[in-house]
Structure 1
Amino acid sequence: MTRKAVLICPGRGTYNAAELGYLGRHHGARSDLVARFDAIRAEAGRETVSALDGAERFSVSKYSRGDVASPLICACSLADAAALAEDIEVVAVTGNSMGWYLALAAGGALTPEDGFRVVDTMGSLMQEHLIGGQLVYPWMGDDWRADRTRKAELLELVADIDARDGQTLRLSIDLGGMLVLAGDEAGLNAFEAAVPPVGGRFPMRLANHAAFHTGLQAPVAEQGRTALPATLFHQPQKPLIDGRGSVWWPGATDTQALWRYTFDTQVCETYDFTAAIRTAAREFAPDLFIVTGPGATLGGAVAQSLVLAQWKGIADKAGFEAVQARDTLLVSMGREDQRAQVT
């Protein structure tokens, strides 16, 4: 019996110490796909993903860099996408932030090699410029009940800080029960000073992360358009759900517009992952949502987004856990206890 699935690709921050060796464990250090990615890195004079993945030790200073984390996550995610069980029919593909580039490749709008080149190029450009920074702050409580008043108050604070002279702060990613904010140092500092700490972790700065999905990235977007022409893009083979919750359909996609969205709108405007998951659920009604590796942190944002979409009548964390226990709604390939269900 065929299982219909929405495939979800992760973004930056998902390859951490626990993920060191992920490619070697799950795909073999010299799998054909990984070997092709290695060749692209070697040709550019960069350390291969196999070498990075096979290192003896992990350091945050190195592995959080855009020119290291991005290609590693890309290789892991696309290799996972290629390893799905034969009974799984992917009915749509989406991703979070950098995961949009991976979705383009997993959904056929880019070849795997060109998808890797896009990720490698944009990751390097982001690292080279490193304009601004990012932080994460929750607006949902531990029960995952939607406190929309609290969210509105936080976004009002963000707008107030951004309106002040010499400060920039924007909503970078609407990520389920989390707000990912981006701006300059003054804007980020102002927000950190204005909100109470939560759970001993938040507000949490993200190491080596630029002010993604804001107008501060316009120079990076422009260089990306110069380096990565529209001729790389094809009609997608699967419906692609972007960072606005809009769908790019096979056979009906303007590839020039898709290129422009990818290297302009998507880079410089808020990425609404919550809307992407809402569209995925309501438009495609899959049997399950599959998050490729590495890591499993995106699973929480997917689950929270399904709560916010009131999918299957789920209203909070307990409701999600009840449906998950009964129906296995969500599978994270980065979790050893779930991976075997879809490979």
Structure 2
Amino acid sequence: MKETVVVVCPGRGTYNPPELGYLSRHNGGADWLGRFDAMRASAGKAALTALDGAAKFTPAHLRGDNAAPLIHACAWLDFLKLDRERFEVVAVTGNSMGWYTALACAGAVSGEHGFAIVDGMGLNSQKHAAGGQAVLVLAGEDWTVDPALVATVEAAMARHGVLPSIRLGGMLVVAGAEAALDALANDLPPLSRPPMRLAGHGPFHTPLMQASSDAARAQFPREWFGQPQIPLIDGRGKVWRRFESRADELWEYTFGHQILQPYDFTAAMTVAMREFAPDRVVLLGPGETLGGAIGQVLVSLKWLDISSRNMFTAVQGEDPLLISMGRPSQRGIVIP
């Protein structure tokens, strides 16, 4: 009998200096990589193989027009390598930009159209009102979250007009004008780590991204979208299933709500675990920074009686529940 897995697609911030060369190490010469480079070349953009094969990591790798397609290509090609003889993918979800990759993995859009969306949104995401993002770590060392702390942080956000952007396990990504983020940082209660500003990120998943949403609606045809072949969990926790999902509504969500409203990755993972009860969770590469957030969700759910960071670490050391394909020691578990 096959093991069941929920697949998670990573978002921005997962291709960093340690990931330079990820594509060539794991997918050099892949047919899809050649197609993606051809699509980039036709638009006058740098080839992914050239970016990935650079002698050193530079700020150019962090720009949305380069980072988004690099991350997508790594994740999509990892997805295609999963051993389908041993593992049944019962659902797909993603974090933030990873939603576009999830669309392709679930078969709601084609491989070519999935890349075109990611590549285009890498540029569109740079069209927004002034502002940025910061990460607030709300979880303690044991990965549990104090509701009173959350309430205090939310009150401070309201005072300064800072908006929730991504709910990410024991972390909260917030967005707003730069001055508002600065003011919030000086008005927060003590956190386990200082707020971290995300370089090169706009005020994603807020109404400040209206220009990006408008550009996406004008650029990407509704006809590219179809019914997912694998259940697809969005940034609200809604499950899009085959035969009961409308393609036009999926298009509307993708370029409307998904861009302009908070992305609740915590809700997506909660639904993934409770609705599909997978044997394992597979996090596609590159990187593994999303692994902590997934672990924090599992702790909050007390999944398999995992109620702390130490318990999660112990499970991972024995027989990993979460398999990060960006981690060499775990990658081989799911690749034939």
TM-score (norm 2): 0.96
Give the structure 1 partner of residue 171 of structure 2. Answer: 178
TM-aligned CA deviation for residue 202 of structure 1: 2.4
Q: Distance in 1 between matches of 2:298 and 2:171?
A: 14
State, as a whole percentage, how many aligned pairs show the same letter. Answer: 51
Cα deviations across residues 261-301 of structure 1 (Å, max 9, x unaligned)? 00000000000000000000000000000000000100000
Q: Distance in 2 between matches of 1:307 and 1:193?
A: 30
TM-aligned CA deviation for residue 251 of structure 1: 1.4
Give the structure 1 partner of residue 110 of structure 2. Answer: 111
Cα deviations across residues 71-114 of structure 1 (Å, max 9, x unaligned)? 00010000000001131110000000000000000110011110
Give the structure 2 partner of residue 311 of structure 1. Answer: 303
Q: Distance in 2 between matches of 1:41 and 1:338?
A: 31
The question of whether the paired residues in 2 share the 8 Å contact of 1:182 and 1:188 is answered with: yes
Alignment match of 1:194 (pick from 177, 187, 204): 187
Q: Distance in 1 between matches of 2:144 and 2:127?
A: 40
TM-aligned CA deviation for residue 198 of structure 1: 4.8
2:65 counterpart of 1:67? yes
Q: Distance in 1 between matches of 2:132 and 2:321?
A: 34
2:149 counterpart of 1:150? yes
Q: Distance in 1 between matches of 2:111 and 2:300?
A: 33
The question of whether the paired residues in 1 share the 8 Å contact of 2:227 and 2:243 is answered with: yes
Q: Distance in 2 between matches of 1:256 and 1:128?
A: 24
TM-aligned CA deviation for residue 152 of structure 1: 1.9
The question of whether the paired residues in 2 share the 8 Å contact of 1:14 and 1:294 is answered with: yes
Q: Distance in 1 between matches of 2:3 and 2:48?
A: 32
Q: Distance in 2 between matches of 1:18 and 1:322?
A: 25
User: The residue matched to 1:340 in structure 2 has which SS?
Assistant: helix
Q: Distance in 2 between matches of 1:2 and 1:302?
A: 23
Give the structure 1 partner of residue 137 of structure 2. Answer: 138
Give the structure 2 partner of residue 3 of structure 1. Answer: 3
Give the structure 1 partner of residue 74 of structure 2. Answer: 76
TM-aligned CA deviation for residue 51 of structure 1: 0.9
In structure 1, the gaps of 5 or more residues are 163-168
Instruction: Map residues 26-41 of structure 1 onto 2, 5 A cutoff.
Output: 26-28=26-28, 30-41=29-40
TM-aligned CA deviation for residue 128 of structure 1: 4.7
The question of whether the paired residues in 2 share the 8 Å contact of 1:114 and 1:232 is answered with: yes
The letter for the 2-side match of 1:111 is S
Q: Distance in 1 between matches of 2:130 and 2:294?
A: 28
The letter for the 1-side match of 2:74 is C
TM-aligned CA deviation for residue 234 of structure 1: 1.0
Give the structure 2 partner of residue 124 of structure 1. Answer: 123
- Aligned residue-pair number: 334
TM-aligned CA deviation for residue 313 of structure 1: 2.2
Alignment match of 1:322 (pick from 274, 297, 314): 314
User: The residue matched to 1:18 in structure 2 has which SS?
Assistant: helix
TM-aligned CA deviation for residue 132 of structure 1: 1.3
2:56 counterpart of 1:57? yes
The question of whether the paired residues in 2 share the 8 Å contact of 1:91 and 1:284 is answered with: yes
User: The residue matched to 2:12 in structure 1 has which SS?
Assistant: coil
Give the structure 2 partner of residue 253 of structure 1. Answer: 245
2:259 counterpart of 1:267? yes
In structure 2, the gaps of 5 or more residues are none
TM-aligned CA deviation for residue 310 of structure 1: 2.2
The question of whether the paired residues in 1 share the 8 Å contact of 2:127 and 2:209 is answered with: no
Cα deviations across residues 26-83 of structure 1 (Å, max 9, x unaligned)? 011x210111111110110100111111111101x21111001000001000000000
**Stretch moving more, 106-115 or 153-162:** 153-162
The alignment yields a C-alpha RMSD, in angstroms, of: 1.3
Give the structure 2 partner of residue 280 of structure 1. Answer: 272
Alignment match of 1:235 (pick from 211, 227, 235): 227
Q: Distance in 1 between matches of 2:204 and 2:159?
A: 20
Q: Distance in 2 between matches of 1:38 and 1:281?
A: 36
The question of whether the paired residues in 1 share the 8 Å contact of 2:166 and 2:173 is answered with: yes
Give the structure 1 partner of residue 14 of structure 2. Answer: 14
Q: Distance in 2 between matches of 1:161 and 1:301?
A: 26
Alignment match of 1:213 (pick from 200, 205, 210): 205
Q: Post-superposition, which runs of at least 4 consecutive aligned residues in structure 1 deviate over 4 A?
A: 196-199
TM-aligned CA deviation for residue 303 of structure 1: 0.6
